[in-house]
Structure 1
Amino acid sequence: MRERAVQRHDRLLALVRLRGSARVTDLAEQLGVSPVTVRRDVEALAGKGLLDRVHGAVSWPRQRGAGGRAPIGEGRVLGLLAPSATYYFADVIRGAHEAAARAGARLVLRISDYRPEEDPARAEGLLAAGAEGLLVAPGWRGPGDPAEYGGWVAELPVPVVLLERNVPPGGPLAGLDRVCSDHGHGVLLALRHLRGRGHAAPLLVARADSPTALAVREGYAAALRVLGVPEPLPVIDSVPAETDPEGFERAVRELRAAVASGETTAALVHNDVDAIQMVQRLAELGVRVPDDLALVAYDDEVAALADTPLTAVAPPKREVGRQAARLLVERLRERGEGGGGARGSAGGDAVSGGAVVGGTDGEPAPRRHLALLPALRVRASCGAGRGAGGADGDAAGGGAGGEGVGDGRGVTG
């Protein structure tokens, strides 16, 4: 796959930041491109004030300092590394931008396109752009990605807040601040609602290609235990219809067979896009929603726009971004006042329920693992409130959500 200019720029900035200065010919050799390409890149980056040019060489701007900080007197710069700027993360980014603006800070964005191996270079690009602290949502997909691709986050030289990413206990990232949606709670809301409407064993249809998908699966097993559901049916593995139409058809037919046999009368489907397409295909196969199958989607990104508006779990995306940005700003304030360390794991003031919580006796505030509760939006697909978009009585938390890559596949989490 051909490297994009922004990716090459990030690698170039990382090399210069590490060395302090470098010759254009040396950079061309290390980047694997021609000197002409490097000169063109240097000209573009120097025009933005990110590099200084000196007689066939480039150097790190002296006015920024080794940490890449903006000159004194300017507003703070926050960096945000996200796997996508659409679907789920559009609202996360919007919330972070709003909170940064209220604090007088500027938000700088880098997108990894769900390529976790490229996350370190994207983060270096944010530091090179002057970011004093980072909001980081690594482009992980599988359960082994945090261990394989996460160690670099703990080594960042600035305060860090993880976004919508849980990490294994005891690992190098476990001590970092993080703000996440509690997807387990969201799944419990959905199953409790379906059980309350008389459905004995709601089935889960879900992908396994993202952190949110994995969290929904874990939450499903835990929710069934809480609700005392005996011998639940196995999870039906879903895949994107656009990239694997045969796999998607298998999932639809497996769900149809479960309905036809009487094994289930309700299902939770992750995500919205899959749920809408499944409802359409099930209708062609003679299964009607909600008459034959009560259905709840997980995301609430486009669920309300289906022919039969879908009841959906709505993670509080925008509030996740807001809370994370507020927390990062307070960490930076504490650091500026001499109260915190240099690493991303440094202590500082924290945010709890929208309020800033400081430490006592001049000590840094403890780090925070802030879990925000999703809401349940009840519509017609579960057999209640047809055509209505009101919230269920069990609803908790804030706005709609659903994470996905920017190529339209709707890969969530």
Structure 2
Amino acid sequence: MRESAAERHDRLLALVRERGSARVSDLASELGVSPVTARRDVEELAGRGLLDRVHGSVSWPRDAAAPAPAPGGSGLVLGMLAPSSTYYFAEVIRGAHEAAGRAGARLILRISDYRPQEDQARTEGLLAAGAEGLLIAPGWQHPGDPAAFGDWIASLPVPTVLLERRPAAGSPLNGLDRVCSDHAYGVLLAMRHLVGLGHGAPLLMARADSPTAVAVRSGYAEALDVLGLRPPQDVIDSVPAELAPDAFEEAVQALREAVRSGVATAALVHNDVDAIQVMHRLAELGVRVPDDLALIAYDDEVAGLADTPLTAVAPPKRDVGRHAAGLLVERLGRSTGAPRRHVTLLPQLRVRNSCGAPPSGPADR
């Protein structure tokens, strides 16, 4: 399968993170891409604040908000396993880095590239590197992944905090500390906003390839019940346009038909990238946002950068990382008998232009 841009970005970031700095020409050679592609990738990542770029080289950014471990600090080493170092999890990692720095601790990182079968080996690498406690966001993508690739987490020899993952009821992982976004609450915010603008039951177009996507889907069903609405039609299955262009086109055509037939005048799309591409393709097909369709994206990574800035649900990604690292530091400093905690943080709705309502600050109602 052809490597996606996101996967290539993860590999590039991993190389820079391990070395501290690297020449762009060397990165091109190691990634197996042209110098033009490497420069374009570096420019994009630097523009998002994930890299610092100077005179043909790049370096891992030093976040001014995350001070270096102070002399006399805790001296703790925290290990973090994340499925990606870009898009959604870039902010989670930054939040954890900030909290670790404030506590005088060092954060070391491993990326699984959404390969859950490699999570355990990468975590063992963190332990071998001296991690005294762990922040774990498994690379689960499919419903069977937690059962197939998750039980080992409950038997780790050091304190562990789960990030953005909710194990099934009865799972041994439910006995661990965890910090998660309440995606069902985020979906309800979006639905209430659209209904409050006079729309009927909104449609959902969503992926099914991550725990967030699954949570958005289940949150949609819950929101319909809370609002006393019937779904206008089945959820439209979304896929990345660059990986499955035919399936993506089929999904866009299904949304276009729903608008043209009057089935729906509003939609929630997971995620931002898909929502922007959907909006552009709909415009080519004669469906305008927000005139013909009110549209809300889920994630709020790049939603505000669209031609028509998209209203979006913004999970508290950086706060998830901060709270999780803080909880882990606290856990390492307390007795083993202290109660475990499940911390749930609430998303916000950032209102922009794509619903036809005046832009405003975060809506939290």
CA distance in 2, matches of 1:369, 1:231: 31
1:75–1:106 CA contact under 8 A, matched in 2: yes
1:311–1:379 CA contact under 8 A, matched in 2: yes
Question: Which one has the bigger helix percentage?
Answer: 2
Q: How does 1:36-55 map to 2 (within 5 A)?
A: none
User: What's the secondary structure of 1:242's corresponding residue?
Assistant: coil
**Partner AA of 1:228 in structure 2:** G
Q: How much has 1:155 moved relative to structure 2?
A: 1.1
Q: How much has 1:231 moved relative to structure 2?
A: 4.5
CA distance in 2, matches of 1:145, 1:393: 33
Q: In the alignment, what sits opposite 1:343?
A: none
User: What's the secondary structure of 2:158's corresponding residue?
Assistant: coil
**Partner AA of 2:81 in structure 1:** L
Structure number with bigger Rg:
1
CA distance in 2, matches of 1:312, 1:261: 25
Q: In the alignment, what sits opposite 1:371?
A: 344
Q: How much has 1:80 moved relative to structure 2?
A: 0.2
CA distance in 2, matches of 1:94, 1:378: 25
Q: In the alignment, what sits opposite 1:67?
A: none
1:133–1:332 CA contact under 8 A, matched in 2: yes
Q: How much has 1:232 moved relative to structure 2?
A: 3.6
Percent identity of equivalent pairs: 74
Q: In the alignment, what sits opposite 1:359?
A: none
CA distance in 2, matches of 1:266, 1:73: 51
Q: How does 1:48-127 map to 2 (within 5 A)?
A: 75-127=75-127
Q: Please tell me whether residue 384 in structure 1 is matched to residue 357 in structure 2.
A: yes
Q: How much has 1:391 moved relative to structure 2?
A: 2.2
Q: How much has 1:203 moved relative to structure 2?
A: 0.2
CA distance in 2, matches of 1:224, 1:74: 48
2:73–2:103 CA contact under 8 A, matched in 1: no
CA distance in 2, matches of 1:178, 1:391: 25
Q: How much has 1:281 moved relative to structure 2?
A: 0.4
**Partner AA of 1:167 in structure 2:** P
Q: Please tell me whether residue 264 in structure 1 is matched to residue 272 in structure 2.
A: no
Residue segments in structure 1 that go unaligned for 5+ positions in a row: 2-71, 341-363, 395-413
Q: In the alignment, what sits opposite 1:306?
A: 306
Q: How much has 1:74 moved relative to structure 2?
A: 7.4
User: What's the secondary structure of 2:173's corresponding residue?
Assistant: coil
**Partner AA of 2:309 in structure 1:** P
TM-score by length of 1: 0.70
CA distance in 2, matches of 1:315, 1:220: 15
Deviation sequence 1:49-94 (CA, Å, 0-9, x none): xxxxxxxxxxxxxxxxxxxxxxx99710000000000101111000
2:73–2:104 CA contact under 8 A, matched in 1: no
Q: In the alignment, what sits opposite 2:133?
A: 133
- Mark the CA change 1:328 to 1:288 in structure 2 (over 3 Å): closer, same or farther: same
1:82–1:111 CA contact under 8 A, matched in 2: yes
Deviation sequence 1:349-404 (CA, Å, 0-9, x none): xxxxxxxxxxxxxxx3311111100000000001112xx4532353xxxxxxxxxx
Deviation sequence 1:103-150 (CA, Å, 0-9, x none): 110000000000000001100100011000000000000111111100
User: What's the secondary structure of 1:243's corresponding residue?
Assistant: coil
Q: How much has 1:100 moved relative to structure 2?
A: 0.5
Number of equivalent positions: 296
User: What's the secondary structure of 2:139's corresponding residue?
Assistant: coil
Q: Please tell me whether residue 181 in structure 1 is matched to residue 208 in structure 2.
A: no
CA distance in 1, matches of 2:318, 2:249: 33
Q: Please tell me whether residue 163 in structure 1 is matched to residue 157 in structure 2.
A: no
CA distance in 1, matches of 2:216, 2:134: 27
CA distance in 2, matches of 1:319, 1:73: 22
- Mark the CA change 1:205 to 1:163 in structure 2 (over 3 Å): closer, same or farther: same
User: What's the secondary structure of 1:296's corresponding residue?
Assistant: strand
CA distance in 2, matches of 1:114, 1:304: 26
Q: In the alignment, what sits opposite 2:216?
A: 216
Q: RMSD in angstroms over aligned alpha carbons? A: 1.6
CA distance in 2, matches of 1:378, 1:76: 40
**Partner AA of 2:356 in structure 1:** G
User: What's the secondary structure of 2:258's corresponding residue?
Assistant: helix
CA distance in 2, matches of 1:103, 1:231: 47
Deviation sequence 1:28-61 (CA, Å, 0-9, x none): xxxxxxxxxxxxxxxxxxxxxxxxxxxxxxxxxx
- Mark the CA change 1:278 to 1:166 in structure 2 (over 3 Å): closer, same or farther: same
CA distance in 2, matches of 1:194, 1:164: 26
CA distance in 2, matches of 1:104, 1:266: 47
User: What's the secondary structure of 2:319's corresponding residue?
Assistant: helix
* Greater displacement, 198-207 / 72-81: 72-81
CA distance in 1, matches of 2:264, 2:118: 43
Structure 1 runs (4+) deviating above 2 angstroms are 388-394
